[in-house]
Amino acid sequence: MNLKDFKAKLKNKIWRNVKAYFYDQRIADSTLVQNINLSTAQNQKKAIVSYVTYSHFNDWENNNIGRTQPFEILSMVKVLTELNYAIDIVGCHDLKTLDYLKLKNYDLIFGFGETFYQLTMLHPNAKSILYMTEHHPNFTKIEEQKRLDYFYDRKKKKANTVRTGNFYWDHHMKKKYTHVITMSETEPFNTEYTKPFNIFPTGILNNNFKLKPKNHDSSKKHFLWFGSYGAIHKGLDLLFDVFQKHDDIVLHVAGFYKDDRQLLEFPNKKNIIDYEYIDIQSNQFLEIIETCTYCILPSCSEGFSTAITTTMRHGLIPIVMENTGFNRLNELAFFLNDFNIEYIDKQLKEYSTKDSEYLASLSEKVFSFANSNFSIHAFESKFNVILNQILKND
């Protein structure tokens, strides 16, 4: 017996003895999902999705899913199933799966990450669709560095890049794929792709939410930053500096990560309120929605943030940076065109004194648009239209 066979036999023996102890983990996760919609009775085309696999291992009836991606992946698979593809799903950076997939033949490769890139190299004749959940990394890299430099100028603290380059690496972007679908702006892709497609991500809706008249005379003084990791990338440091100068406007902060707190100290100010993690299905979330008119996210770059889609589905008016992923909102958002502290301060003074009747009308338009475009049904429909356009000549 050679060494390779011996190692395999030993691992199998160990696994047989210990796998019962990891039953819950085996139920909850796997690195590879194969043969979805496969029919051995017909000749099907085969597709592989490079993203995440846990959508297909979750208890959807009893777990409160706080993220939008799992819903979207299920919709993607449903559309591919309706197009009669047999489908595999892999982790976007899980290269070990390639050993199990290298002998397969794929007609369609969809997704992102190093796994996606390697699969397109292994199957050069397959149709490839790069899926951009972020802004183009060339844009993000420059803009995030500007924020880090500005943070250092003000605080004399060095911060590292935390959002750029995690999933989209330089060599990924140098390769030309058959098509690209982006959640962000299409302009960076116009030179390489004749028709880059864009799609909105979904937003989560609190099941008990009902849009009702709001006292904007009061709530226009309240701004919600609803973020995730990468607080400097998402402009929370800027807002801390602005709101510390004031007592007349209030910043509500939800989703300020522990790792970011080690670098960015939370201000000891009554008008800056720390909620830590907020469950979107909670009554506390509804109370914040009722208190605020605006959701503010001065992020340097987004793939159209789900914090914005979610709060818009509850009628909050977005305040976002121009050209960072949100331009499609047009008149439904207030756009910042600079991240200088003095500029943001001036703009927030203006927003906090806007006509309340105008804000009530705009909030209703935001709510209507968001629930027409950011639901899982809208996502699935749009994804179906895009894939049918891409595959119509197959």
Which domains can be identified in the chain, with CATH numbers?
21-136+164-202+377-391 (3.40.50), 216-374 (3.40.50.2000)
Length in residues, the chain: 394
Q: Where are the beta strands (DSSP E) in 291-359?
A: 294-297, 317-321, 334-336
Q: State the pTM of this model.
A: 0.91
Residue 7 has pLDDT above 80, yes or no: no
Beta-bridge mates of residue 110 = 49, 129
Tell me the backbone φ, ψ of residue 197, rounded to 5 degrees.
-95, 150
Query: For residues 288 and 304, is the Cβ–Cβ distance under 8 A?
Result: no
Q: What is the mean pLDDT of the chain?
A: 92
Residue 259 has pLDDT above 90, yes or no: no
Give the DSSP letter of residue 331.
Answer: G
Confidence band, pLDDT 50/70/90 cuts, at residue 61: low
The pLDDT assigned to 205 comes to 95
Query: For residues 254 and 278, is the Cβ–Cβ distance under 8 A?
Result: yes
Query: For residues 126 and 107, is the Cβ–Cβ distance under 8 A?
Result: yes
Give the Cα separation of 244 and 246 in Å (integer). 5
The pLDDT assigned to 23 comes to 64
Low-confidence winner among 12-16, 71-75, 247-251 (lowest mean pLDDT): 12-16
Give the DSSP letter of residue 265.
Answer: P
The pLDDT assigned to 174 comes to 94
Rounded to the nearest angstrom, the gap between the alpha carbon of residue 85 and the centroid of all alpha carbons in its chain is 26
Residue 394 has pLDDT above 70, yes or no: no
Give the Cα separation of 394 and 44 in Å (integer). 12
- The helix or strand, by DSSP H or E, that contains position 128, with its residue range, turns out to be strand 127-132
SS3 label, residue 224:
strand
